[in-house]
C-alpha cells in the first residue's frame, strides 16, 4: 500500500474529504509536497506558524532541549527551566494581574482548565459563552461551543451553560451573581473574523467585575501578534481575569496555557490537592520552541509591519464577486455569496499553489491568516492567485 492508501486506511478521519496533500517540507511561508509542488501557506496551520515554518532559531532551541531532557515528571513537580523561563517571558509581556501560567498540551485543555478554575474560585456553576464561538473539541469546550449543530450529537454536555449573542449589550443583562465566568474569543475567529466594539468589551468587563464573575478571553487565535498587537485584548483597553493561549504559543509544537493571577491559580493546589493536572502539559521541548518563537516575533519586529501588510491585502483584494473583506491585522475573512462559490475558489487556489480554507461558522468566507513574516512580494503573488481563482471559478 502506498502512503496515501495507508492514510485513508489507518488514520482516523475527521471529514469525508480531507485534502490529503502529503507534505515533504515547510519553510517560512512555503509548503512543498512530495511531488515538489509548492504552496504559499496563507493560513499558517490555522494561526500557528506566526514566525513562519521551521524558523532556524526555533529548530535550534528544540535541538538544544532534545539534547538535555524530554519528559521527566508530571507537570509541576520538578523545576523545568524551559517552563519557568517561558512563563517568565510571557508574564513579563502581560499586565501585572496575569502572572501565573498553567501550561497544557492544547487550546481545548486550556479552556477546560480555565472553566474549572472559574468554578472553583467563584463557587458558582453558570458559564456564559457566545453564539458562533469555538473554544475546542473536548466535552467541556464543546459544551460552550456556539452552535447546536456541532453540540447536538454529543449530549448530554455540561449543564448550566448559557449561550448569548456576541457584541450585544442586551446579552450582558444575563450576567448575574450566579455566573462563574463569561468566556469569549477576543475577536471571534471561526465566525469569520468578527470584532466586537470596544465599548461592548469594556461594558462586558465592568459587568463581570460588578457581579464577581471572571472574564475569560480566548486568545488562542488572537494572541502573538495576529491582530497587529501582541495580545488581542490590547485592542480594547481591558484586562481579562484569565486568558487562554494555544496555537502560536508553541512555535509549531503542541502547547496551550491558561494564565491568571497567582491568587486565583493557587485554588487548583488545594481542596482538592491536584485540582488540575497533566502529564505532558508544558513539555520542555514545546516550551523551548515556544520561547524561541516568541523571541523571534519580538526581535524581528514582525508585529510592526502588520497594519501595512493588512492595507496591501485590502488594496489588492478587489473583485465584484467579493462581498466584503473583514480584517483585523494579518487576519482576513473574504466573503462570497455562498459556500459553493467559496469552495470553488478555494479549490482553485489550492490547485494553483495557494493554501487557504473556510471558517467553521462562516463557510462562505475564505480564510487568510498567514505567517506574520509574509513579505510584500508574497502578498502580491497570493492576491493575484486569489483573484485568478475567483475569475476561473465565477467566469467574471
Closer CB to ligand PLP, 113 or 136, in the complex: 136
Work out the number of other CB atoms within 10 angstroms of the CB of residue 28.
Answer: 18
Measured from the CB atom, the residue of 218 and 348 that comes closer to ligand PLP is 218
Least distance to ligand PLP, CB of residue 82, Å: 19
Q: Where are the beta strands (DSSP E) in 131-255?
A: 161-164, 179-185, 214-218, 242-245
Position closest to ligand PLP via CB = 107
Q: How far apart are the C-alpha atoms of 126 and 179, rounded to whole Å?
A: 5
DSSP SS3 for 104: strand
Q: Which helix (H) or strand (E) holds 357?
A: none
- What one-character DSSP code corresponds to residue 353? T
108 is a site residue for ligand PLP (CB under 6 A): yes
Q: Per rule CB under 6 A, is residue 220 in the interface with ligand PLP? A: yes
* Residue whose CB is less far from ligand PLP, 333 or 390: 333
One character per residue 40-59, x = contact with ligand PLP (rule: CB under 6 A): ------x-------------
Q: Could you tell me which of 227, 392, 251, 233 has the C-alpha nearest to residue 326?
A: 227
Torsion angle of the four alpha carbons 65, 71, 73, 79, in this order, in degrees rounded to the nearest 10: 10
Q: Does 223 bind ligand PLP (CB under 6 A)?
A: no
Q: Roughly how many angstroms between the first and final C-alpha of the chain, as a whole number? A: 43
Note whether 192 binds ligand PLP by CB under 6 A: no
- Binders of ligand PLP among residues 225 to 254 (CB under 6 A) are 246
Task: Work out how close the CB of 246 gets to ligand PLP at its nearest, in angstroms, rounded to a whole number.
Answer: 4
Answer yes or no whether residue 260 interacts with ligand PLP by CB under 6 A. no
Query: Among 130, 134, 200, 331, which residue sits at the site for ligand PLP (rule: CB under 6 A)?
Result: 134
User: Is position 135 an interface residue for ligand PLP (rule: CB under 6 A)?
Assistant: yes
Beta bridge partners of 362: 359
Q: Enumerate the β-bridge partners of residue 181.
A: 127, 214
366 phi, psi to nearest 5 deg: -90, 135
Is 378 an interacting residue with respect to ligand PLP (CB under 6 A)? no
- CB-based contact 155:189 (threshold 8 Å): no
Give the residue with the Cβ less far from ligand PLP, 246 or 284.
Answer: 246
The distance of closest approach from Cβ of residue 116 to ligand PLP in the complex, given in angstroms and rounded to an integer, is 16
At a CB cut-off of 8 Å and minimum separation 6, what does 132 contact? 146, 147, 166, 188, 190, 191, 194, 361
Q: Which three cell numbers stand for residue 148?
A: 447546536
From residue 256, give the alpha-carbon distance in Å to each of 103, 120, 121, 134, 321: 6, 20, 21, 15, 38
Question: Min. distance of Cβ 86 from ligand PLP in angstroms?
Answer: 17
Binding flag, residue 183, ligand PLP (CB under 6 A): no
Nearer to ligand PLP, 221 or 382 (CB): 221
Residue placing its CB nearer to ligand PLP in the complex, 136 or 228: 136
Taking the complex as a whole, the smallest distance from the CB of residue 133 to ligand PLP amounts, in Å, to 8
In whole angstroms, the minimum distance from the beta carbon of 375 to ligand PLP comes to: 26
Footprint of ligand PLP (CB under 6 A): 46, 106-108, 111, 134-136, 185, 189, 218, 220-221, 246, 256
Amino acid at each position: 500500500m502506498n502512503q496515501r492508501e495507508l492514510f485513508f486506511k489507518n488514520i482516523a478521519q475527521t471529514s469525508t474529504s480531507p485534502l490529503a496533500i502529503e507534505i515533504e517540507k515547510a519553510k517560512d511561508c512555503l509548503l512543498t509536497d512530495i511531488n515538489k509542488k509548492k504552496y504559499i501557506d496563507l493560513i499558517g496551520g490555522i494561526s500557528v506558524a506566526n514566525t513562519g515554518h521551521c524558523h532556524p532559531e526555533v529548530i535550534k532551541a528544540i535541538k538544544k532541549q532534545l539534547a538535555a531532557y524530554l519528559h521527566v515528571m508530571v507537570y509541576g513537580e520538578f523545576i523545568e527551566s524551559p517552563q519557568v523561563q517561558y512563563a517568565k517571558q510571557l508574564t513579563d509581556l502581560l499586565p501585572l494581574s496575569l502572572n501565573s501560567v498553567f501550561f497544557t498540551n492544547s487550546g481545548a485543555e486550556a479552556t477546560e482548565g480555565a472553566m474549572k478554575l472559574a468554578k472553583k474560585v467563584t463557587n458558582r456553576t453558570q458559564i456564559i459563552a457566545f453564539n458562533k464561538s469555538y473554544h475546542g473539541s473536548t466535552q467541556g469546550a464543546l459544551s460552550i461551543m456556539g452552535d447546536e449543530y456541532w453540540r447536538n450529537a454529543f449530549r448530554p454536555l455540561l449543564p448550566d451553560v448559557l449561550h448569548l449573542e456576541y457584541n450585544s449589550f442586551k446579552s450582558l443583562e444575563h450576567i448575574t451573581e450566579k455566573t462563574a465566568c463569561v468566556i469569549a474569543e477576543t475577536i471571534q475567529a471561526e465566525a469569520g473574523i468578527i470584532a466586537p466594539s470596544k465599548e461592548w468589551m469594556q461594558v462586558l468587563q465592568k459587568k463581570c467585575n460588578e457581579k464577581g464573575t471572571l472574564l475569560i478571553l480566548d486568545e488562542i487565535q488572537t494572541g502573538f501578534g495576529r491582530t497587529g498587537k501582541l495580545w488581542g485584548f490590547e485592542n480594547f483597553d481591558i484586562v481579562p481575569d484569565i486568558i487562554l493561549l494555544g496555537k502560536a504559543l508553541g512555535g509549531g509544537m503542541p502547547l496551550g496555557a491558561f494564565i491568571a493571577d497567582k491568587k486565583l491559580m493557587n485554588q487548583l493546589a488545594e481542596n482538592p490537592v491536584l485540582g488540575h493536572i497533566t502529564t505532558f502539559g508544558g513539555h520542555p521541548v514545546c516550551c523551548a520552541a515556544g520561547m524561541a518563537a516568541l523571541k523571534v516575533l519580538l526581535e524581528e519586529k514582525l508585529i510592526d509591519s502588520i497594519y501595512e501588510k493588512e492595507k496591501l491585502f485590502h488594496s489588492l483584494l478587489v473583485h465584484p464577486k467579493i462581498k466584503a473583506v473583514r480584517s483585523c491585522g494579518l487576519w482576513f475573512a473574504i466573503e462570497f455569496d455562498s459556500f459553493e462559490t467559496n469552495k470553488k475558489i478555494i479549490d482553485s487556489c489550492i490547485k494553483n499553489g495557494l493554501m487557504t480554507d473556510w471558517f467553521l461558522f462562516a463557510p462562505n468566507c475564505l480564510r487568510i491568516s498567514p505567517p506574520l513574516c509574509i513579505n510584500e512580494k508574497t502578498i502580491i503573488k497570493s492576491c493575484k492567485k486569489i483573484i485568478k481563482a475567483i475569475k476561473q471559478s465565477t467566469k467574471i
